[in-house]
Amino acid sequence: MTAPIMASLTSHLPAPAIEALRTTRNASLWAFSPIDAGLRRIQGRTALPPLPLRRHAGRASIFEAAARHMSDAIDRLGLLTPDSNVLDAGCGAAAMALQWAPRMGPEFRYTGFDVHEPSIKWCTKHFAKDPRFTFVYADVSSSYGKATTPLDAFQFPVESESIDFELAKSLFTHLLPAEVEHYLAQTRRVLAPTGRALLTAFLFDDTAPLFQTPAFPFGDPGSAVRWRLQARPAAAIAYGRTYFTKLVEAAGLRIVTFEPGYWPGHDAVPLAQDYLIVTPS
Encode pLDDT of 151-172 as tens digits. Answer: 999 999 999 999 999 999 999 9
Q: Which of 109, 107, 252 is nearest to 191 (CA)?
A: 252
| Domain containing residue 90 | 3-280
Report how far apart the first and last C-alpha atoms of the chain are (Å, whole number).
Answer: 45
| Tens of pLDDT, residues 207-260 | 876 677 888 999 987 889 999 998 889 999 999 999 999 999 999 999 999 999
- Return d(Cα 240, Cα 238) in angstroms, integer: 7
Q: Is the pLDDT of residue 76 over 80?
A: yes
- Per-residue pLDDT at 59 exceeds 80: no
The confidence band for 3, taking pLDDT boundaries of 50, 70 and 90, is very low
Residue 17 has pLDDT above 80, yes or no: no
On the question of pLDDT at 1 being above 50, the answer is no
Which residues, 6 or more positions from 161, have their beta carbon under 8 angstroms from its beta carbon?
Answer: 189, 190, 191, 192, 193, 195
For the chain, what is the domain count?
1
| Per-residue model confidence (pLDDT) at position 73 | 94
CATH of the domain at 164: 3.40.50.150
> What is the pLDDT averaged over residues 68-91?
97
Mean pLDDT of the chain: 85
256-262-267-271 Cα dihedral, nearest 10 degrees: -110
Helix axes 15-43, 60-76, angle to 10 degrees: 90
Higher-confidence position of 123 and 8: 123
Where residue 268 falls among pLDDT bands split at 50, 70, 90? very low
Q: What pTM value is reported for the model?
A: 0.83
